[in-house]
Structure 1
Amino acid sequence: MTVQQLCPLLSLQVFHLAEPERPVTGGYAGDLLSWVLSRAGQDHAWLTIMSNQNVAAVALMADVSCVILTEDVLPDPDLLRRAREKGVNLLGTAQDTFSAAGRLGQILSGGT
């Protein structure tokens, strides 16, 4: 599954889509940046409510496929700028983190 394929399945709003063909192989939900950095997997979708510019740096260092801001959180202007500069796929959803993570798990496991 690619980031672009995931967008309609999770009804994601696209804030920035630098690498639409980037694979999504799993997911990680978390808001403590140091925790995410040490635990999120490469090519995972990272679900968070954090919206400051440090999210882009952590996304790059953790090598996640995309960041999904949950609960209708909008990216801080500095985060959006950094995502554009650094090529971070930045998306959003109205769903709460728990629901979005559950749905992501279903999709990635081949469920409907």
Structure 2
Amino acid sequence: MQVKDLAALEGFVTQTMENGDDSVLDAYAGDLLSDVMGNAPSDSVLITIQAHKNTVAVASLAGIKAIIICNQRSTPPDMLQAAKEESIAVFTFDGTQFEASCKVACLLGKVDARKG
């Protein structure tokens, strides 16, 4: 899939997307940024509640292409500016990380929503 495909998911709101054509191969859900830095696969989507500039720095180091901020958290201007500079897309989602993870997993073809 491509980063721009995330924008079509129900409930996902694009905050910035400079890299819509970049490929996404996987996803990682986590809030402990040291864990994300050590374990998130490159070319992935980070699903988190950590809405700050340091999240973008970690995503950049890990080769993450997009960040989804869950649980109705807002994205501060300095985070969005850093994301633009690093060409990392940022989306917000009012639902939980679990709900976002399920949507992304279906989009990636990791699970089939019709099978339960």
Scaled by the length of structure 2, the TM-score of the pair is: 0.88
After superposition, the C-alpha distances for 1:21-46 in whole angstroms (9 at most, x for unaligned) are: 11111110001111000011011110
What letter is aligned with 1:76?
P
What letter is aligned with 2:18?
A
* Correspondence 1:59-74 to 2 at 5 A: 59-74=59-74
Residue aligned with 1:36, SS: helix
Q: Which runs of 5+ in 1 are unaligned?
A: none
After superposition, the C-alpha distances for 1:45-97 in whole angstroms (9 at most, x for unaligned) are: 10010011101101100001100101121112221121122222111111200
| Alignment-derived partner of residue 107 in structure 1 | 107
For 2:76 and 2:11, locate their aligned partners in 1 and report how far apart those are by CA, in whole Å.
21
Question: Do structure 1's residue 78 and structure 2's residue 78 form an aligned pair?
Answer: yes
Q: Is the 8 A contact 1:10 1:100 kept in 2?
A: no
CA positional deviation for 1:10: 4.2
Question: Do structure 1's residue 21 and structure 2's residue 21 form an aligned pair?
Answer: yes
Structure 1 segments of 4+ aligned residues over 3 angstroms from their partners:
none
Question: Do structure 1's residue 39 and structure 2's residue 43 form an aligned pair?
Answer: no
Percent identity of equivalent pairs: 28
Equivalent pairs counted in the alignment come to: 112
Q: Which runs of 5+ in 2 are unaligned?
A: none
